[in-house]
Structure 1
Amino acid sequence: MDPIVEAALKKWPNVPDCYGWLALDARGDWYMRDERIQAAGPFPRVKGSRITHEKLRDFIHRNYAADAQGAWFFQNGPQRVYVQLEAAPWVWRLSENPAEPGAPQVHSHTGLAAGPVQACWLDEHDRFYVATPLGLGLVHSLDMGLALAPVETGRWQPETLRHAELLQRYGVIVEPQAA
């Protein structure tokens, strides 16, 4: 977390949480969802405005975390902005691993190294999920070709599990609500 965010939390500890205004889609893109967009329909059917400002995205990435209940948020200064998730809290990007061919490197949509793949699944929509020390994430659709090699060689052995069951197993809340 950024030091300026930590300082703001100390200065203003009682700022109310925000719900419904920020969302993460299955490709790792962030969306702002103002009141008009929220009224137009649920995420991801109505996405909102894609955040393209690089420094704002980087700020969100550095201050993105989960609470004890499994709801993900962006700590925006003293305010916790809860995130609606289309699929999972992480969107994995894969790249060739020169040190170990056939075992792609896995990074999050925020740029964090995910660590080794611990398990993988296909859900009822044929989406490919991977669990790492960072947690549960969806493999980006553009990187499915790189995921094929470790599956074909048996290094990654996907199981089938319904999306809702997968989220429950990893304690992920996709649509946080105020208490």
Structure 2
Amino acid sequence: MTLSPDPAVLARWPDVPACYDWLSLDRRGTWRLQGEAVGHAGLVGFLSAGYGRDEAGNWLVHNGPQRVYVALEYTPWVLRLHPDGRLTTHTGAAVAGVVAACLDEEGNVLLETELGAGLLDDRDLAAFLAQCRCADGSVADDEALLAVMAGGREEGAQPGSQPGSQVRWRDLPLQAVTRAAVPQRFGFRPRPAP
């Protein structure tokens, strides 16, 4: 979701400087102001309601005419996998669809959604991994998952198959991705700068 401030607000205060290095989002979806977790429900709601991206792939919150840029510990979204199978973002938004499922070299799960890239909250990893299946329908074992993480082919994979194609989550092949490649692959800037 691309954010644009209200033109009337900008007309009233055209020279409000942007704010950098104050607001961040950690890997569990907690907002942080200068490193301190935001616990006030009203402030969390305000930040979540005004969260979006600009044309350059920076993530930010509008505070009236001011753009408050968000430093991302990993991805713009942190996703929760609920026991009933639903996915929601750290802002509480429902995820309608997932188009790609990835596993990085550290064992982090990344999901590409209609909202953008999201890191699965590590507290939901066990439930996610329990849903991963090998080509024969069995639950993916450690060896198969490690092969995906390494970007290699599992033993018994068909020639020409993609790395990780033998492990699936729901109907999606689990793909390898390196953490360093995530921002470029998914089109976001983790550290906005003036």
**Given the two structures, how large is their TM-score scaled by the length of structure 2?**
0.75
Q: Which stretches of structure 1, 4 residues or longer, exceed 4 Å deviation after superposition? A: none
Cα–Cα, structure 1 residues 125 and 11, in superposed 2: closer, same or farther, change >3 Å?
same
Offset at residue 109 of structure 1 (A): 0.2
Whether 1:80 and 2:67 are equivalent positions in the alignment is: yes
Gaps of 5+ in 2: 138-167
Query: Which residue does the alignment assign to 2:31?
Result: 30
Q: Which amino acid aligns with 1:19?
A: Y
Separation (CA, whole Å) in 1 of partners of 2:51 and 2:182: 21
Query: Which residue does the alignment assign to 1:38?
Result: none
Separation (CA, whole Å) in 2 of partners of 1:82 and 1:21: 8
- For 2:122, which of 134, 141, 151 is the aligned residue? 141
Separation (CA, whole Å) in 1 of partners of 2:193 and 2:10: 21
Aligned pairs for 1:30-109 (under 5 A) are 30-33=31-34, 48-97=35-84, 104-109=85-90
SS at match of 1:157: strand
Pairs aligned (count): 155
Aligned pairs for 1:89-168 (under 5 A) are 89-97=76-84, 104-152=85-133, 154=168, 155=170, 156-168=172-184
SS at match of 1:21: strand
Cα–Cα, structure 1 residues 11 and 160, in superposed 2: closer, same or farther, change >3 Å?
same
- For 2:186, which of 160, 165, 170 is the aligned residue? 170
Separation (CA, whole Å) in 2 of partners of 1:94 and 1:140: 8
Separation (CA, whole Å) in 2 of partners of 1:9 and 1:57: 24
Q: Which amino acid aligns with 1:49?
A: E
Offset at residue 62 of structure 1 (A): 0.4
RMSD value, Cα = 1.7
CA contact (8 A) 1:121 1:130 kept: yes
1:118-140 CA distances to partner (integer Å, 9 max, x unpaired)?
10111122111001101100000
Q: Which amino acid aligns with 2:23?
A: L
Separation (CA, whole Å) in 2 of partners of 1:26 and 1:66: 18
Separation (CA, whole Å) in 1 of partners of 2:54 and 2:106: 27
Q: Which amino acid aligns with 1:20?
A: D
Q: Which amino acid aligns with 1:86?
A: E
CA contact (8 A) 1:32 1:51 kept: yes
Offset at residue 146 of structure 1 (A): 2.4
Separation (CA, whole Å) in 1 of partners of 2:110 and 2:124: 12
Offset at residue 23 of structure 1 (A): 0.5
Separation (CA, whole Å) in 1 of partners of 2:86 and 2:173: 17
Separation (CA, whole Å) in 1 of partners of 2:105 and 2:20: 28
1:7-28 CA distances to partner (integer Å, 9 max, x unpaired)?
6444223211111010000000
Whether 1:17 and 2:26 are equivalent positions in the alignment is: no
